[in-house]
């Protein structure tokens, strides 16, 4: 259990206890309806005790939650617990064998020089892999501002490394799984969207009309994404911003916490740039399309340990729990209803 998560949820302890009963029926508890309720409670206590021992040994994921690392006024052990909340498998991993925080910091500094060299992707990728534990501890423990963190780790802010970091954190591929699953459900989603009536249904039909007039696969995916946002009663206009070339600099100022921008030469022309803004800073540019921008932003939220934006929280949760199948046991009522229709 500790290999997969240091802070298992109730259903995870229950799954392990049930598996124990299936493997060893003789261990069942008489008088218990499930015959494994006692084992479930025992596992919870054993995990708590084991976490205490790991914390004393200095395990980073446990140590970050110790009382001496909490802010002033947070004197309770349960205050501000930093733990996986979006099915992260490697939330704060241990440093590689033989490495220390100081040696990994030296590698980070050396990486800044490697970025200036041409055709150096192999070295950059290897160094980012080695410094993963150092980077995660910095993100979770210090909560740096995006601008400051981008200056320290510029290599992370490119598409290949966002994909690699997501794989390190969740053990699942980002771009390929996201695209394949979205395409797999696209016909069913369109069918559900078109059955929607009222003002919301009309708005969705107007968005899907763009798909029907264009054969571009990314435009089709973008229309499905925008329709999904409307379906959840969220506003795509507050998150997906479009600008003319003459007003390109407005993107950083207009988009506050998080958003995706598109810059066009004229109102209906091809996009010149599609990028991502977080905390008023352009973190990725020239991602190619809005759907790719959404995928990269999804990956950056995991890589930077951020929360989903409030104005699109249901959309992001749908992609996390249904499309990417990350911690899909407990769903919001809106998402649960859509999932039932999707799998009907």
SS3 label, residue 243:
strand
Backbone angles phi, psi at 233, to 5 degrees: 65, 35
Single pTM value for the model? 0.89
Q: Say what percent of the chain tops pLDDT 70.
A: 95
Identify the residue whose tokens are 């229950």: 14
| 312 within 8 A of 234, measured Cβ to Cβ | yes
pLDDT of 234 > 60? The answer is yes
Could you tell me the pLDDT band of residue 83, with boundaries at 50, 70 and 90? confident
Both tokens of 82, joined, read: 């930093």
Find how far residue 127's CA is from the centre of its chain. 22
Q: Give the pLDDT score at 289.
A: 93
Q: Give the pLDDT score at 67.
A: 61
Residues 6+ apart with CB under 8 A from 202: none
Backbone angles phi, psi at 26, to 5 degrees: -65, -15
| 332 within 8 A of 295, measured Cβ to Cβ | no
- What is the rounded CA–CA span in Å between residue 296 and residue 284? 8
Phi-psi region of 327 (alpha: psi -120 to 50; beta: other; left: phi over 0): left
Per-position DSSP letters for 151-194, written without gaps between them: HH-GGGSSHHHHHHHHHHHHSS-SHHHHHHHHHHHHHHHHHHHH
SS3 label, residue 259:
strand
Residues 6+ apart with CB under 8 A from 108: 131, 134, 135, 152, 153
Radius of gyration of the chain (CA): 23
Both tokens of 60, joined, read: 């980073």
| Total residues belonging to the chain | 344
pLDDT of 77 > 80? The answer is no
Q: What is the per-residue pLDDT across 156-181, written as a single tens digit (0 to 9) for each?
A: 999 999 999 999 999 999 999 999 99
**Mean pLDDT, to the nearest integer, of 71-88?**
72
For 114, what's the count of Cα atoms within 13 Å in the CB-facing half-sphere? 18
Distances (CA, A) of 238 to 160, 263, 315, 339: 28, 16, 13, 25
pLDDT of 58 > 90? The answer is no
| 69 within 8 A of 141, measured Cβ to Cβ | yes
Complete edge-to-edge strand list for the sheet that includes strand 281-284: 240-244, 258-264, 271-278, 281-284
pLDDT of 238 > 70? The answer is yes
Average pLDDT of every residue of the chain:
90
Please state, as a whole number, how many other Cβ atoms lie within 10 Å of the Cβ of residue 214.
13
Q: Give the pLDDT score at 269.
A: 66
Find how far residue 336's CA is from the centre of its chain. 20
Both tokens of 206, joined, read: 């107007």
Q: Give the pLDDT score at 73.
A: 60
Residues 6+ apart with CB under 8 A from 128: 111, 135, 155, 156, 161, 164, 165
């Amino acid at each position: 259990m500790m290999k997969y998560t240091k802070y298992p949820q109730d259903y995870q302890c229950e799954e392990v206890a049930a598996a124990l009963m299936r493997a060893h029926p003789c261990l069942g508890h008489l008088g218990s309806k499930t015959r494994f309720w006692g084992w479930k409670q025992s596992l919870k206590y054993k995990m708590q005790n084991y976490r205490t021992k790991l914390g004393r040994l200095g395990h980073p994921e446990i140590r970050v939650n110790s009382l001496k690392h909490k802010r002033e006024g947070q004197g309770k052990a349960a205050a501000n617990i930093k733990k996986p909340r979006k099915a992260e498998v490697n939330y704060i991993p241990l440093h590689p064998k033989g490495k220390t925080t100081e040696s990994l910091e030296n590698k980070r500094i050396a990486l800044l020089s490697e970025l200036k060299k041409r055709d150096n992707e192999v070295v950059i990728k290897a160094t980012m892999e080695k410094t993963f534990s150092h980077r995660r501890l910095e993100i979770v423990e210090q909560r740096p501002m995006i601008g400051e963190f981008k200056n320290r780790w510029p290599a992370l802010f490119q598409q290949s490394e966002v994909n690699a970091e997501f794989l390190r954190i969740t053990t699942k591929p980002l771009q390929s799984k996201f695209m394949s699953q979205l395409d797999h459900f696209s016909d069913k989603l369109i069918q559900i969207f078109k059955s929607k009536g009222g003002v919301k249904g009309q708005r969705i039909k107007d968005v899907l009309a763009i798909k029907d007039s264009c054969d571009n696969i990314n435009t089709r995916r973008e229309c499905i994404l925008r329709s999904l946002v409307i379906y959840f009663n969220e506003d795509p206009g507050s998150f997906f911003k479009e600008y003319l070339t003459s007003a390109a600099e407005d993107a950083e100022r207009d988009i506050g916490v998080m958003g995706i921008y598109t810059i066009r030469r004229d109102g209906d022309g091809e996009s010149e740039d599609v990028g991502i803004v977080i905390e008023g800073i352009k973190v990725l540019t020239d991602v190619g399309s809005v759907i790719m921008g959404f995928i990269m932003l999804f990956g950056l939220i995991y890589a930077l340990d951020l929360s989903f934006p409030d104005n699109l929280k249901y959309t992001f949760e749908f992609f996390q729990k249904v499309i990417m199948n990350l911690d899909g046991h407990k769903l919001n009522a809106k998402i649960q209803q859509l999932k039932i229709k999707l799998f009907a």
